[in-house]
Chain A
Amino acid sequence: MENVLEVRELRKDFHTKKGLLRAVNDISFTVRKGETLGIVGESGCGKSTTGRAVLRLVEPTAGEVIFEGQDILQYNARSMREARKDMQIIFQDPFASLNPRLSISQIIAEPFDVYRMFPPREREEKVKELMRLVGLSQKLVNAFPHELDGGRRQRIGVARALALNPKFVVCDEPVSALDVSIQAQILNLIQDLQQRLHLTYVFISHDLSVVKHISNRVAVMYLGKIVEITESRRIFTNPLHPYTQALLSAIPIPKVGVQKRRRIILEGDVPSPVNPPSGCIFSGRCPFVMPKCLEAAPPMTEAEPGHSVSCFLVSDAEGARAAGDRTSD
């Protein structure tokens, strides 16, 4: 399948008072046309920075972001401005991401202002069309964000992101601020729009249930690194990285009387991305830590087709199997 986005060795450093903070640490992934790639992880793992770095909303420190065959990190301001029509973002907080002084129609039409598109009459039609698309009543066209609840505000955020007819949208925790009944409505909307408009998504969330539900593939991030990436079903049926296993086991399942995963309680907190541990970034909390984990970072290894893991347990097993294959040949 065709890749819409190819990210290679992406890195983002922030210079803080405490020292160099490597929020995104040389990660690589691809997003195929029409699919949803989920990125999941806990606070501070770098998932939102990744989402913003691929749109150059924060400037990556190093790496390549290849969108439809072109490395957009090489673009000058003007080319980037053109490229942004195709690459949009839906933000987490529908309270903070909408200008409180603008009406709904002004907010949705703002991208048209920016790109000097459509005369006023046509623009009005476009706004109405977008409101219909995201299920907002036409009555709200002159309302202001504070008059609306979180769910409808998030619909505005979706309409604005789709105004320029993008091909690729980063959804950065779009339902995290919403109640569960409203969250389900917005998730369905995001899915429907993908079908109708042939969109490609990167969907970022801390909630593995949500990510698994909406994504075709899932990348699990920890401390700036992707530790595991595979089809979303596999992440649940065959998690291979100890962190993924712990994350899955930590999620309370809303069911009774079913066989639940044995809970793996991780000790301690996520370490600071300033001066991260040497070797494997998860070594400090890993229940299976080995001496070599403290010395070197494990390579990304393909454990099965389309399922890559960064853990010595996996790379050693694969190495042994490859060696076994060679001797038996």
Chain B
Amino acid sequence: MSERLLEIQDLQVEYHTDDGIVTAVERLDLHLEKGQTLGLVGETGAGKTTTALSIMRLVPDPPGRIVAGAIRFHGEDLLRKRPEEIKRIRGNRISMIFQDPMTSLNPVLTVGFQIEEAVMLHQKLDRKAAGERARAMLELVGIPPERAGDYPHEFSGGMRQRVGIAMALSCNPELLIADEPTTALDVTIQAQVLELMKSLRERLATSMLLITHDLGVVAEVCDHVAIMYAGSIVEYADVHSLFTSPRHPYTRGLFGSIPSLDEEVERLKPITGLMPDPTALPSGCKFHPRCPQAQEVCRTRVPQAISVGDGHSAACLIYEGLVPGFQE
């Protein structure tokens, strides 16, 4: 039995905007076992990044607020920790890689200094030892250690993301949250960074929460997948089950929307309609206005996550027996 590293229960996060209250995350349940990589997949506005920022306790407040729920890391609720306690965890035991390495690095400090800073703060090393650690980390991610004295703008996009990874891993975190780490990169550079992340994960046994919109990246890197739509998890499964038998209509719609590289598909089968307005989310199942399977009951009843297989769950009324299933 694997050890549970992270468990999110019933998380609810709101943003108070001029246009009203936006419920970015609603009744979200999610768990991650030690040593595993979980992919969190969804489109713009699904609440993926808000979920990640909640774990880091970095949701900007105001306008954001964590309204309810628990985020247990090694069984302890991060949402109940005092700010000083969180500071000791953040960047140390849990760290994060951001999407855009240009905006997440400080442009006026050398990359070596920025890594040293994190190490000195958390690992209580002196500057000399921290400098050595920084150079070792750079080497680990494939950057010549003598470049520690260079500034972020002197690196290419792919190299900068390597710096971000080096910094995130510098304190040997137990959990690494990677928010779209390769989205800003060209595909051949993405391949380099993904290979690097895979090999480091094996060497350092880090658990990872990988946020992405790219199901290709998920197939490549993750053990488990959670599909998010309008603030909630609609399907959770191991990678193999999710890709071979997706159960939620939204997940199936996503697969129908992706152009295939290795098959001849004349026409895509997109999900109809638009992402819902976050200030006025649909009642009942939030996917019902776009769902080809939707029935009257979907407008009113909120679906629960129902087990549809070993470790595979889907939040859809089909699996509560209230709506007819798919015609295969």
Contacts and interface: CB of A to CB of B under 8 A. Distances in A.
**Which residue of B192, B195, B255 has the most chain A CB atoms within 10 A of its CB atom?**
B192
A248 interface: yes
Contacts of B219: 252-256
A152 interface: yes
Given A188-B270, A246-B188, A256 B239 contact: yes
Interface stretch (A2-10, A19-27, A157-165, A206-214): A206-214
B154 interface: no
A42 B186 contact: yes
B271 A181 contact: yes
A254 B195 contact: no
Contacts of A182: 43, 270, 274-275
Given A42-B186, A181-B270, A265 B191 contact: yes
A42 B259 contact: no
Contacts of B243: 254-257
Contacts of A255: 219, 243
Main secondary structure of the interface of A (DSSP, over half): helix
Contact of B265 (A179, A213, A253, A265): A213
A98 to B, nearest CB: 17
B176 to A, nearest CB: 19
A269 B156 contact: yes
A270 B214 contact: no
A184 B270 contact: yes
A137 B262 CA distance: 36
A179 B268 CA distance: 14
A252 B214 contact: yes
B261 A209 contact: yes
A185 B275 CA distance: 13
Nearest to B241: A256
Interface residues of B, number: 46
Interface string B213-226: 11111111000000
Contact size range, A: 35 or more
A267 to B, nearest CB: 8
A180 B243 CA distance: 16
A183 B254 CA distance: 11
A151 B239 CA distance: 29
A191 B268 CA distance: 10
A250 B187 contact: yes
A198 interface: no
B257 interface: yes
B260 A209 contact: yes
B186 A206 contact: yes
B186 A180 contact: no
B259 A181 contact: no
B128 interface: no
B208 to A, nearest CB: 16
B264 A151 contact: no
A187 interface: yes
Contact of B189 (A183, A208, A248, A269): A269
A229 B121 CA distance: 54
A300 interface: no
B194 A252 contact: yes
Given A252-B219, A253-B262, A269-B158, A149 B274 contact: yes
A10 B93 CA distance: 55
A207 B271 CA distance: 20
A269 B273 CA distance: 39
Contact of A252 (B217, B269, B270): B217
Nearest to A214: B259
B261 A253 contact: yes
Contact of B257 (A183, A191, A233): A183
A213 to B, nearest CB: 3
Given A151-B274, A179-B44, A179-B213, A250 B260 contact: no
B190 A250 contact: yes
Interface of B: 43-44, 156, 158-159, 186-192, 194-195, 213-220, 239-240, 243-244, 253-262, 264-265, 267-272, 274-275
15 contacts: A151-B274, A179-B44, A180-B43, A184-B258, A184-B269, A187-B259, A188-B270, A207-B259, A250-B190, A251-B187, A252-B216, A252-B217, A254-B215, A254-B219, A256-B239
Given A209-B258, A254-B214, 20 more contacts: A149-B274, A180-B257, A180-B258, A184-B256, A184-B269, A212-B261, A213-B268, A214-B259, A246-B188, A247-B188, A250-B187, A252-B194, A253-B219, A254-B219, A254-B255, A254-B258, A263-B191, A265-B192, A266-B188, A269-B156
